[in-house]
Every structure is written in C-alpha cells, then in structure tokens.
A and B are shown apart, each in its own frame.
Chain A
Amino acid sequence: MSLLVEQFDTPSIEYQLLAPLLIVFGGAIVGVLVEAFFPRRARRDIQLTLSLLTLIAAFVALIVWSRPDLGQTAASGNVVIDGPAVFFQGTILILSLLAFLLFSERGVDSAGDAFASSAATIPGSSSERELVAARVLQTEVWPLALFSVGGMMMFVAANDLLTFFVALEVMSLPLYLLVGMARRRRLLSQEAALKYFLLGSFSSAFLLFGSALLFGYSGSISFGGIHDSLSTGVGLDPLLLIGTGFVAIGLFFKVGAVPFHSWIPDVYQGAPTPVTAFMASATKVAAFGAMLRLFYVALGDYDWNWRPMFWVVTIATIVVGSVLAITQTDIKRMLAYSSVAQAGFILTGVTAASGSGLSSSMFYLASYGFATIGAFALVSLVRDGTSEATHLSRWAGLGRRAPVLAGTLSIFLLSFAGIPLTSGFIGKFLVFEAAIDGGATPLVIVGAVFSAVAAFFYVRVMVLMYFSDPPADAPPIAVPSALPALAIAVCAAATIALGVFPGPVIDLAQEAAAFVR
C-alpha cells in the first residue's frame, strides 16, 4: 500500500469576507483579557460596551463587505459566504444584540443581574452570601456569549464537515456554561446545565460519527465533494444512508425536533431567562441554517432518501410540541414546548427541498426569533419575591394590573399562533405554500390542524391575563431598565412590521436564497 504523499496548500484567507466572524471572535478574546486586567468594579460596563460595539461592528462589516461578494468561498473553501450565509449571519447578529441588551438588566433583581455572582460557589454557602452582599457581578458571561455568537456565524457558513463540527462545538460549549449560571434557583440551573451538556455532547458524537461515514462514502469532507460523489455513485450506499441519519440526529437535537426534544423544556426552564431568549432564538437560527446548507448543498440530490425521514420528524414535532404545550402550567415550559412546535413548522419549509422552501424558512426564522426574545424578556418581569413567578396561575389578571406588559406579550403570543397582521402569520403562510409546491401537502394539513391546537394554549394565556381576577397576593411587576426595554420595543415593532409590511424582508430572503457549492 502506498504511503499518503499529499501536499498541504497554503490556505488563502479572504479577510474582508471573514471580517464579521473575525470581529466577533476578536471581541470575545479582548473580553477575556478585560477579565484578566481590569478591576472588578469597572468590568461590567467595559464588557457591556465592548460586546455591543463588537456586534454592531460585525454587522456593519457584514453589510459593507459581504454584499458585492455574495457567493464566494473563503479560507480555501472551508467557509462560504453566500446569500443564505449572509442572511443568517445578519439575523444572528441582530438577535444576539437584542439578547445582549437583556443580559444587561440589573434593575429587576434586587441583588444584581440574572447571573450568579460566582458560578463556582456552592448555593447557600457563606462564600456565596459574601459575594452577593458585595454586589459582585459575574462578567465572564459576555465573552462566553460572544464566542457562542461567533460559533453560530461560522456554523451557518461552514462548507465542510470539519468546520461544521468545530463550529457546532464553539457554539454549544459556552452555552452549556451559560445555562448553569442563574442567580436564582441555582440547583435547577445547574441541573439544566448537566442535562444539556450530557445530551448535547451525546448528539454531537452521533453527528461526528455520521460525518465520518459520509467522509468514508464520498472520500471528501467538503460539501461540494459529497455532492459530486452522489452523482458519480461510488456505491457503498449503507454508509451514505447511515451517515445521513446520524448527522440528522445531531442537527435535530440542536433544533429541538421530536424525538430529540426532551432537553428543551428542562433547559429553557432552568437557564437564566436572558440566556433562554438567546438560545431559543439565535441558536435555532444557526442550527436551521446549518441544517439547510448540509441537506440542500451536500445531500441535495439525495432528497428522495432524506425527505421521508423529515416527513416523520416534522409531523411528530408539530403534534407532540402542540399537545404537550397544552398540559403545561409553567409559562417558561409552555414557551419551550411552543418552540418545539415552531421548530416543526420551520421543518415543514425545510422538507420542501426547494428554493422557496429555503427562503420561507429564512423568513420564518427571522420573524420567530424576534417574537421569542420579546416573550422571554417579558417573562422575567413578573416576579415573586426574588425569583420569577413562572406559574401560569400567577399571571391571572395581568391585563388589568400591567396593561402594557400584557398587551406586548399578547402581540408575541398572537404571532406564535399565526394570527394575521403579525409576522408569524406571514411565516406560516410562506412555509406552507413552499411545502405544497414541494409536494408535501399532507404535512401542510397536519400543520394547519395543529396550528389551531397551538392557538388554543396561546389564547388561554391571554384569556387568563384579561378575563380572570388577579390572585390576592399578586406578584409585583418589575419595570425594565432602558436597554432591555429598548430590546422589547424593537421585538414588538419587528413582529408587527414583519406582519404588516413583510415585502422588503421577503424580497431580501428570496434574493438571498441560493446556496453556492
């Protein structure tokens, strides 16, 4: 057997195309240095300013440099900056910016922000009490979240299996830590972190083994190479089939599709609420972006084999998510199951396997992200003593006590339910249209029926808020600080604007909806 004598080529790095990614990672590294070199008192303001400036700078770089170069590969083809990549990266940056504004909330909890003073201290110990009394804030959350944002941006642009896996881990590892850092109910939060970590790495291992099988089938780790090998038909179909299935398991886990959804309610409930908002919106955009690229680019010609699997998973996700959401009594868990059902609706668009399936999924993800961040931001405002009052009975009569909060939450719930004049309606309409064009009419029928089921539990919350009396010991309503209030206002405005004037964003998504091999 001959030895492998292959030369490494010097990689060419297109710095302009990669600028948004590099800015985010650079900002995260500077954030780590700030932790090391600045006094504790000054760190929080520095980190907040640095993180927001990093995201804004990355967004500007994305708009300025990526537009004329749409459809280019960078870093020797490991990363591709095409229309969908730019659209998803922009969406992730905007959603992350809004989530970061929620991270900055210090006025709602009397002891500080939503994160534990030091995640390393034992809950209830004297060292924890000392740190709380000294009003110490944990500022490591900012660079951690920035690394995660960088991983997401890389995930949607990854063009080979190696970049794909590394980006997935760069995105997930900081999130495992962020989940375990809640200031209140720390045991719950740590438990959520353990579950998320073990199940998350379990699913990544499946994804990696699936990647190995795809590599074994095609002899190439690049998505283009896998696509080419499909047309030449090397044989060894079992490798391709099992590899596709295993990679799909990893991605289904990340988007929270049934039967890989069991972590979602636990983690969404246990995580600090701003982190939940971040995960539910930006992570979902990234995971769907990567799923679309892998299945449309690398396995695009193999769709007669993966589409039946997607059909089954889509139907199961919509049905299980909607039905289980009805039985929930905790608003965070209800929103978590609702996000499972929403993942099913987005999968309806993915299953279409067409250009309109891609553009409709892109629009749905953007509109869903805004509504999700807004809804979770409002959840953190109704508080019982020190922690959040998440039991639904505590929300009774909120419409009279806090009309603005209840009204804003109603906008987001109506959008989730897909009521006209909100972004959710346009999103659902587009994915259903794409699915019918793609020959998936039964999926659309299931989707439409269970939209009605889903509408029931969204409307139930509104009925509870407007048509029932507040409990005798009604929880106090906190007033958000300026930055989180701005984030909520932007989310509400975007939800209505995308519902009333969706044209520009739909055009943008359709214009961008072309993958480059």
Chain B
Amino acid sequence: MNPENYLYLATILFVIGAVGVLVRRNAIVVFMCIELMLNASNLAFVSFARLNGNIDGQVVAFFVMVVAAAEVVIGLAIIVTIFRTRRSASVDDPNLLKL
C-alpha cells in the first residue's frame, strides 16, 4: 500500500481533532481530541520515516507517546480538581475570568 495514504489519514485525524477541540464543550472530550491530534502527528512522523528511509521519525513517535502520557496525568489532575469543585466538566461553565 502506498505510504502516502497514511499521510492523508494522519491529516484527516488531525483535522478531526482540531475541529473537536473547537466545537466540543466537555473538557474530557476536548482533551481526547488533543490526544487525537498528537497521535495524528505520530502517524505522520512514522509515515515520513518510511517515505524518507530515515529512522528518526519512529524515534520521535516513541517520545511523543511518553510526553502524551505525562500530559494525560497532568490534564486529568486539573480536570478532576475542577470537576470536584464545580460538579461539571464543561469548558463553558468556568467564567470567572472576564474583563
């Protein structure tokens, strides 16, 4: 199969993630969309590694997985703290910070 198709898939996944961040209201779902964007980038890195015959892209993918895991730890900690205070994980509810 042509490796370029994986690039199209990566782009589609990235766009789905980006649109999801912009339109969804639940902080957990927004966060999942961000993870989808990171994984789309991983797919792009691995496909380019195959296309270019260069192993660096695959190494990057491993590091990104580790970083994404660390990000999950921090993100869920923040979201859970907010949820326990407000009983809601909607990104529209917190509105104290305004002009």
Q: Tell me the A residues contacting B by CB distance below 8 Å.
A: 1-2, 4, 6, 119-120, 122-123, 161-162, 165-166, 169, 173, 176-177, 180, 186-188, 190-195, 197-198, 201-202, 205-206, 208-209, 211-213, 215-216, 219-221, 265-266, 269-270, 327-328, 333
Alpha-carbon distance A176/B78, docked complex (angstroms): 8
The residue of chain B having its C-beta at the shortest distance from the C-beta of A177 within the complex is B74
Query: Does A177 contact B77, Cβ atoms closer than 8 Å?
Result: yes
Residue of B41, B52, B64, B71 with highest tally of chain A CB at under 10 A:
B41
15 contacts between A and B (CB under 8 A): A122-B85, A162-B56, A165-B63, A187-B94, A190-B85, A195-B97, A198-B31, A201-B75, A206-B37, A208-B41, A215-B52, A215-B60, A216-B44, A221-B56, A221-B60
Q: What secondary structure prevails in chain B residues at the interface with A?
A: helix
Q: Which residues of A contact B51 (CB under 8 A)?
A: 216
Q: Is B12 an interface residue (CB 8 A)?
A: no
1/0 contact string of B1-44 vs chain A (CB within 8 Å): 00000010010001001100100000100110010011011001
Q: Which residues of B contact A212 (CB under 8 A)?
A: 10, 41, 44-45, 48, 57, 60
Alpha-carbon distance A176/B34, docked complex (angstroms): 16
Closest beta carbon of chain A to B64's beta carbon, Å: 7
Alpha-carbon distance A342/B41, docked complex (angstroms): 32
Q: Which of B38, B63, B81 interacts with A162 by CB under 8 Å?
A: B63
Alpha-carbon distance A186/B63, docked complex (angstroms): 34
Alpha-carbon distance A156/B11, docked complex (angstroms): 29
Alpha-carbon distance A266/B94, docked complex (angstroms): 11
Q: Which of B34, B52, B86 interacts with A216 by CB under 8 Å?
A: B52
Alpha-carbon distance A202/B17, docked complex (angstroms): 10
The residue of chain B having its C-beta at the shortest distance from the C-beta of A196 within the complex is B78
Query: Does A190 contact B78, Cβ atoms closer than 8 Å?
Result: yes
Q: Which residues of B contact A269 (CB under 8 A)?
A: 97
Query: Does B34 contact A201, Cβ atoms closer than 8 Å?
Result: yes
Query: Does A194 contact B79, Cβ atoms closer than 8 Å?
Result: yes
The residue of chain A having its C-beta at the shortest distance from the C-beta of B89 within the complex is A194
Query: Does B85 contact A187, Cβ atoms closer than 8 Å?
Result: yes
Alpha-carbon distance A515/B48, docked complex (angstroms): 28
Query: Does A209 contact B67, Cβ atoms closer than 8 Å?
Result: no
Q: Which residues of A contact B84 (CB under 8 A)?
A: 122
Query: Does B85 contact A208, Cβ atoms closer than 8 Å?
Result: no
The B43-98 residues at the A interface (CB cut-off 8 A) are 44-45, 47-57, 59-60, 63-64, 67, 70-71, 74-75, 77-79, 81-82, 84-86, 91, 94, 96-97
Closest beta carbon of chain A to B6's beta carbon, Å: 11
Q: Which residues of B contact A169 (CB under 8 A)?
A: 67, 70-71
Alpha-carbon distance A221/B56, docked complex (angstroms): 7
Closest beta carbon of chain B to A224's beta carbon, Å: 13
Query: Does B63 contact A209, Cβ atoms closer than 8 Å?
Result: no
The residue of chain A having its C-beta at the shortest distance from the C-beta of B10 within the complex is A212
Alpha-carbon distance A169/B82, docked complex (angstroms): 22
Alpha-carbon distance A221/B49, docked complex (angstroms): 10
Alpha-carbon distance A333/B37, docked complex (angstroms): 31
Considering the complex of A and B, which 3 residue pairs feature the smallest CB-CB distances, nearest first? A205-B37, A216-B48, A212-B44
Query: Does B91 contact A208, Cβ atoms closer than 8 Å?
Result: no
Query: Does B97 contact A270, Cβ atoms closer than 8 Å?
Result: yes
Q: Which residues of B contact A202 (CB under 8 A)?
A: 18, 21, 34, 37
Alpha-carbon distance A180/B78, docked complex (angstroms): 8
Closest beta carbon of chain B to A317's beta carbon, Å: 19
Q: Which residues of B contact A119 (CB under 8 A)?
A: 81
Q: Which residues of A contact B75 (CB under 8 A)?
A: 176, 197-198, 201
Closest beta carbon of chain B to A228's beta carbon, Å: 14
